[in-house]
Amino acid sequence: MVSTTLMKLVAPCWKPSVEGENSNNRGGDVSGRLDGLLWYKDSGHHVNGDFSMAVIQANNLLEDHSQLESGPLSSLESGPHGTFVGIYDGHGGPEASRFLNEHLFNNFKKFTSENQGMSADVITKAFLATEEEFLSLVKKQWIIKPLLASVGSCCLVGVVCSGLLYIANAGDSRVVLGRLEKTVKQVKAVQLSIEHNASIESVREELRSLHPDDPQIVVLKHKVWRVKGLIQVSRSIGDAYLKRQEFNKEPLLAKFRLSEPFHKPILKAEPTILVQKLYPEDQFLIFASDGLWEQLSSQEAVDIVQNYPRNGIARKLVKAALHEAAKKREMRYSDLKKIDRGVRRHFHDDITVVVLFLDSHLVSRSYWHGPLLSVKGGGGVPAST
């Protein structure tokens, strides 16, 4: 006999009714709003509750991209439904993070359809397929645009479906769970993602064990640990110049070329994956690029979400991070806001925040009517030519 709990876990968590553009979605237009370097969507509804998103640009070209997809997670009518969040923190340029924003979810849906359901393997396959597609693009443009081989992106994905939470991460973005500890009546921060940054000792140990014959696999340069003295993250999408030897030669710029040839990838694209059941004590998830976590601790971010209204909470987190960035430079927040993109990068990174509230009665439901939703974070102010 199948238990009621198991039935809740395996049942698709949402069967949507499609609502058009004119539906009364709380939080204004679906595409969000742009205010100078700040893009935001203060609130909206996803399958399992409310959400809030915000992005602040610091780079001359916005390198952070993100998306929230709520509804069908496959192309099959009978397939699972839920919410997909992607945070793509680019480096070396916006091309890889933009590519992820355009292709990863479609690959994810394709593999969910083939698998006839959600699994950790589906997410890994989507990461690796998107990686292969981007490396193919690098190969096609190698002669005319060799610099594309030095462009990459961190990739953090969260999926809520059928009462389960899937977290997949390659890079150093982070997702934090706000969990109610009933005994002390406080909401505690629980970091769910494993970060792949050479500043972490366990990451350096992993790299050394994978490359035992390379004493220069991690190098301390200007007080910062870097893989091959070049990059801080050990896993990413893109960064073809550290994945395949064919992209680590002329016409690539000399600063990216290694002195010794390599015979296996230096960086990995495979994500670290966590799968866990969601409980009524699990209040919300904060997904963010490392730009937020450079300024706020996990608990500080959770405290802000817990103590302020849901509407506009992602924007509140971005503002709190900017206040911290200004304080570190002994300047006023109002003066920091006046600094334009490009120069702004000297004060803080691009910051992307998605707050996903988990309403327990919706997380455990197997059937719910609501709008299909697709929101791409950002907007970005184009650099002047």
Domain borders along the chain are: 33-197+233-377, 198-232
- Cα separation, 360 vs 277, in Å, equals 12
Determine the pLDDT at residue 19: 30
Residue 207 identity (one-letter amino acid): L
Sequence-distant (≥ 6) Cβ neighbours of residue 122 within 8 angstroms: 108, 111, 112, 115
Cα-Cα-Cα-Cα dihedral sign, residues 335, 341, 342, 347? positive
Residue 305 identity (one-letter amino acid): V
Furthest-apart CA atoms within the chain: distance in Å: 67
- Cα separation, 68 vs 147, in Å, equals 30
**pLDDT mean for each 10 residues of the chain (385 residues):** 36 32 41 91 92 96 95 86 96 97 97 94 98 98 97 98 96 98 94 97 97 95 95 98 97 95 96 97 98 98 98 98 96 95 95 95 61 78 42
* Angle between helix 298-307 and helix 313-328 axes, rounded to 10 deg: 130
Report phi then psi at 7, rounded to 5: -60, -40
Sequence-distant (≥ 6) Cβ neighbours of residue 302 within 8 angstroms: 176, 178, 187, 188, 189, 286
- Whole-number Cα distances in Å, 107 to 130, 236, 321: 7, 17, 33
Sequence-distant (≥ 6) Cβ neighbours of residue 123 within 8 angstroms: 108, 157, 159, 166, 168, 271, 273
b/e 27-64 (16+ beta carbons within 10 angstroms → b): beeeebeeeebbbbbbbbbbbbbbbbbbbbbbbbbbbb
Sequence-distant (≥ 6) Cβ neighbours of residue 24 within 8 angstroms: none
Rg (CA), the chain: 21
Determine the pLDDT at residue 228: 97
Mapped onto helix, strand or coil, the DSSP state of residue 45 is: strand
- Cα separation, 94 vs 219, in Å, equals 26
Determine the pLDDT at residue 378: 79
- Cα separation, 27 vs 43, in Å, equals 5
Convert the pLDDT of each residue in 215-267 to its tens digit. Answer: 999 999 999 999 999 999 999 999 999 999 999 999 999 999 999 999 999 99
Considering the four listed CATH numbers 3.60.40.10, 3.30.70.380, 3.40.50.970, 3.40.50.720, the one that applies to the domain covering 33-197+233-377 is 3.60.40.10
- For residue 224, what are its two tokens? 């910062």
377 touches 90 (CB < 8 A): no
Question: What does the chain come to in residues?
Answer: 385
- Facing residues of 186 across strands? 181
What burial class does residue 355 get, using C-beta atoms within 10 Å of its C-beta: 0-12 exposed, 13-18 middle, 19+ buried?
buried
- Cα separation, 227 vs 218, in Å, equals 5
- Cα separation, 129 vs 104, in Å, equals 8
Cα-Cα-Cα-Cα dihedral sign, residues 359, 363, 365, 367? positive
> Which pTM does this prediction carry?
0.90
